[in-house]
Structure 1
Amino acid sequence: MDKNQTGIQFMKDGKWEEAAKAFMDAIEEAPADPVAYINFGNVLTAVGDSERALNFYNKAISLDENASAAYYSKGTLYYEQQNFQEAKNMFEIALKKGLASGDSYFMLGMCLVQLGNNRLALPYLQRAAEVLEGDAEASFQYGLCLAREGFIDEAIESLEKAAKFDPKNPDALYNLGVAYGFKEEGEKALELFNRTLEIQPGHLLAIQGKKLIEGQEL
């Protein structure tokens, strides 16, 4: 196992100092290889040293302008800082440079959502849900975006997948209930609000939704 793989395993185990040492060793062994710089930047991002992390990502890009993972990592850092415009730019470059992963599509879609461009976000979130088959969050966010744009039937289909992939996710169940409420299927909506409250009894929106449906049935 090389130094980069060793460092990645340390990161998975939450051993940040050991991971940093492994990546620094990798940099010393191959100073022209951008991979270790990206990995070291990821450690710095994880421990909150954003400024130094950016320096390492930029170093990787200076060594290889096609280092797509460096752009993706910069995008993730910017997203965490709520700098969604810069994050969007980085994820777009990462995709153009060949990092056509489900996570890339998902993060680009989420940036567009945060920027208020739900219609533009839809194809990216759709692709993410397709590539990340079985991922509850991808299906959930795609379903929410569909609902915001008024595609209620399609939203229900995606939210049902999210609820299937993660049956204990109260927000997926609640939003599925809201979608059925829009279709005036009160009984189904009430069932979903009740399931939401079984998982999270203090879910205020589900409580309000339940009261609204029950009031309509009186």
Structure 2
Amino acid sequence: MKKKKQEEKEGEEEGRKSMILLSERQMKEIYERAATIGAKEALKFFEAERKKEYKGRADKRLGNTKLLLRNYHMLKDHAEKSVFGRTQMEESALDILESMMSMYDNEVIIESIKRSATRTAVIVSHIETMLGLYEAYCDKSRSREIERRRYEALWDMYIAASTMSPKEIADKQHVSKDTVYADLRIAIEKITALIFGVDGLTVR
């Protein structure tokens, strides 16, 4: 029994000795290293969160572009009820587009744009202006044939007086439906960048 207590006592003393082997300088170095590692991990975390937030906004803008394109004809019909001049514009197109970013219900977004015919006309005018810029970009591109095909797929799908299905577009252009879907995806990304500005570009 005494021997066991003696061994326990010696073990405690050994433990106490091992706890004071590190000098103050060594402890400081450990703390500094831990702080550096912690700071690096924190920065990595915040950078990841920033990218996630930015990607979320990019995805939202992409979704909003699709929403505007799908509702283009309805918005245009609504806008044509209004005769307006620039002095009547209380909001810019970018103000209206930015307000869309805080809404997550598609019906609410469309209704907010239709709140007045003038407001709708501002957005329709902006969309049509950006479509014109996109067409000009396609015509001047080194890959004009491909870019023009993508523009026309977008136009036929959403903007033409008689819109077409992906299959009809594929038949018209003599390409596969997969090509049409790929073309539409790229065209929508590019028109999003124009409609929303540089910040509308998607993050890859």
Which has the higher relative contact order, 1 or 2, with Cα contacts under 8 A spaced 6 or more apart?
Answer: 2
Structure exhibiting the larger radius of gyration computed from Cα positions: 2
- TM, length-normalised to structure 2: 0.26
- TM, length-normalised to structure 1: 0.25
